[in-house]
Homo-oligomer: A and B are copies of this chain.
Amino acid sequence: MDAEIIAVGTELVLGQVTNTNGPLLARTLSAMDIKAPHQVTVMDDQEQIVAAINSARQRASLIFVCGGLGPTTDDVTLKSTAIALGTGLTTDDQHWEWIKETFKARRIKMLPDNIQQARYLTGGSPLANPVGLALGSWYEHDGLQLVVLPGPPAEFRAMLEKSVKPRLVAKYGTGRRISSRTLNFLGRPETQLMAEIEAATAQFSDMTVTSYVQPSQIQVRINVYDLPLAQANDLLEKVTAAILAVERPYFFGFGDKCTLVGEVVKLLTAQGKTITGAESLTGGLFQSTVCSVPGASAVFRGGFVTYAASAKERLLGIDPAVIAGHGVVSAQTAAQMAEKSRERLDADFGLSFTGVAGPDDLEGQPAGTVWLGLARRGQPSQTRELHLAAYLGRQEIRNLSVQYGLQMAFRALQG
């Protein structure tokens, strides 16, 4: 059974607002193994809405019409949907009383058309709105389910959660069961990673592996279908082990919300250790990324931004002969930056970033050439050279430098 999502809103079509309701609904459906392979956005326009619903009925038996339930003359979604379905609108008197009381209590003048927000599709049933005025509608007829939902994201989310999901579960809950697990990787091109994972998991059935490239990581999701829970978990374990047997060096954690910086802060906290940094091309982005994690103050006290060579000497006491002899983009400078920053703040780790963000070359090195340094208390320092693609641009070169620096720290913390 296919679903289709129709988003209604002139502000969406003009690009003034980005549609986030659609992706949320798609994720919700996808978790129930309902696919919405075709999604449409149209204006607040009766003719367009009717045409979109008629067209969707040729492809799907579960249709969501989202947005345009406000009290102004622009909001024609409910009326248009009724026309497409050949039905009318019914007023929920109890809800209309509640709307009137709400306006009275807030001392706000009501619009005559606020009564629209107490209406739902005749022959269907109203869906409660826990955080807004407009009712939704759930309509079933002749094998078609059509659901009308409000556009404001908070209202959409609440109605989806409270009213729509329980009905979908009741209706489609007997379908396919899915268990899934997400693994996060850094440092392997997606195509190579997925080719290797495909080979490593070819022996398994009843499962799929999909990848999703995010700015700072590649997420790999294992989905297991139609198995009792214990067997599903067992299969997830086995597939995970098969993947990690090959890709362990690039793996850093489980879960959709897992980030490398979050894992590094977690490991530092657990081990009672602190980190600092000396940043040249990244200009503070590493330290700012660490501080984006709530609770970072347990592991990070402060650090240095040493963009110019003069600042490297002035703030860190880097030997000018090192810079003169090897250049700022060098293993030697990276190592000294890491060591001096660690010493000056008496931290357990010092991480340094020096390189060429571009657009111009530096010291004859192309944009994307980066040296990372990692100083560790009581252990020798490490350095690593990156050759990032110049075409990625200044910002992405800086972002990736930070992620690879975090990977050095992550590996050191794992011992």
Instruction: Determine if B131 and A345 form an interchain contact, defined as CB atoms under 8 angstroms apart.
Output: no
Q: Within 8 Å CB of A210, what residues of B?
A: 16
Given contacts A16-B27, A111-B191, A132-B391, is CB(A290)–CB(B283) below 8 Å? yes
Closest B residue to A387 by CB, please name it.
Answer: B106
Q: What is the minimal beta-carbon distance from A215 to any residue of chain B, in angstroms?
A: 9
Instruction: Determine if A311 and B305 form an interchain contact, defined as CB atoms under 8 angstroms apart.
Output: no
Instruction: Determine if A42 and B48 form an interchain contact, defined as CB atoms under 8 angstroms apart.
Output: no
A285 touches which of B11, B190, B284, B395 (Cβ 8 Å) = B284
Instruction: Determine if B283 and A279 form an interchain contact, defined as CB atoms under 8 angstroms apart.
Output: no
Is A50 an interface residue, CB under 8 A from the partner?
A: no
Query: Which of the segments A230-238, A293-301, A373-381 contacts the partner chain?
Result: A293-301
CA distance A293 to B307 in the complex (A): 13
Instruction: Determine if A45 and B37 form an interchain contact, defined as CB atoms under 8 angstroms apart.
Output: yes
Given contacts A15-B23, A212-B11, A301-B311, is CB(A130)–CB(B38) below 8 Å? no
A17 touches which of B23, B45, B48, B282 (Cβ 8 Å) = B23
Is A288 an interface residue, CB under 8 A from the partner?
A: yes
Q: Within 8 Å CB of A263, what residues of B?
A: none
Is A253 an interface residue, CB under 8 A from the partner?
A: no
Number of interface residues of A (CB under 8 A): 96
Closest B residue to A309 by CB, please name it.
Answer: B301
Instruction: Determine if B288 and A106 form an interchain contact, defined as CB atoms under 8 angstroms apart.
Output: no
Instruction: Determine if B291 and A303 form an interchain contact, defined as CB atoms under 8 angstroms apart.
Output: no
CA distance A354 to B172 in the complex (A): 46
For A24, A26, A284, which residue has the most chain B Cβ atoms within 10 angstroms? A284
Is A308 an interface residue, CB under 8 A from the partner?
A: yes
Listed from nearest, the 3 A-B pairs whose CB atoms lie closest are A283-B291, A302-B311, A284-B284
Extra 14 A-B pairs, beta carbons < 8 Å, given A12-B23, A15-B24, A19-B19: A13-B38, A14-B27, A16-B210, A38-B40, A154-B392, A154-B396, A282-B291, A283-B300, A284-B303, A284-B305, A288-B305, A288-B398, A294-B358, A303-B305
Residues of A near any B CB (own CB < 8 A): 11-20, 22-28, 30, 35-43, 45, 48, 52, 55, 70-72, 102, 105-109, 111, 130-132, 154, 189-192, 194, 210, 212, 277, 279, 281-288, 290-292, 294, 296-297, 300-308, 310-312, 314-315, 344-345, 357-359, 387, 389, 391-396, 398
What are 11 contact pairs spanning A and B, CB under 8 A? A13-B36, A19-B19, A72-B194, A105-B387, A130-B391, A283-B292, A284-B286, A284-B287, A284-B288, A287-B307, A294-B359
